Amino acid sequence: MRKMVAIAIVACMSCALAIASAEVTTSDLSHKILAGPDKDGDYLISVKVTVKSLLDTGQEVLLRVQALDAEGFEVFEMELKGRIGAKETRTISDSAYISERLYRTVTKWQMEE
């Protein structure tokens, strides 16, 4: 019974994050290579986006950033999570590793809709 309750709570938390992200606007998406390539051929990159809350209460947000190749196919995806206050505007960022070979195919970064 405890396992089922824990699974339900985690599922509900994920839903709340996804729903909350519909209540924000995003702008100024950018990325930067922080380090690399390392011995495995990976770059450490940072991705950031400016987020503005449209709600009168604070919320957790979950945003997905896509990296697309020249043909428009998604080759990499990254999640950005954070807490944003009521009517607040702030920057949310995170870092991740991406192979140098894959990074070189990226021609466009965008927010997943």
Residue ranges making up the domain that contains 74: 2-111
Give the span between the Cα atoms of 93 and 111, in whole angstroms: 13
The pTM is what? 0.77
Number of domains in the chain: 1
Structural contact between residues 67 and 33, judged by C-beta atoms closer than 8 angstroms: no
Give the span between the Cα atoms of 20 and 60, in whole angstroms: 7
Kindly report, residue by residue over 94-112, the tens digit of the pLDDT: 999 999 999 999 999 999 9
As a whole number, mean pLDDT of residues 59-84 equals 96
pLDDT at 22: 61
Domain containing residue 94: CATH number: 2.60.40
**Cα–chain-centroid distance for residue 47?**
8
Give the span between the Cα atoms of 63 and 49, in whole angstroms: 9
**What percent of the chain lies above the pLDDT cut of 90?**
79
Structural contact between residues 92 and 14, judged by C-beta atoms closer than 8 angstroms: no
Kindly report, residue by residue over 3-48, the tens digit of the pLDDT: 443 333 333 333 334 333 468 999 999 999 999 999 999 999 999 9
pLDDT at 113: 79
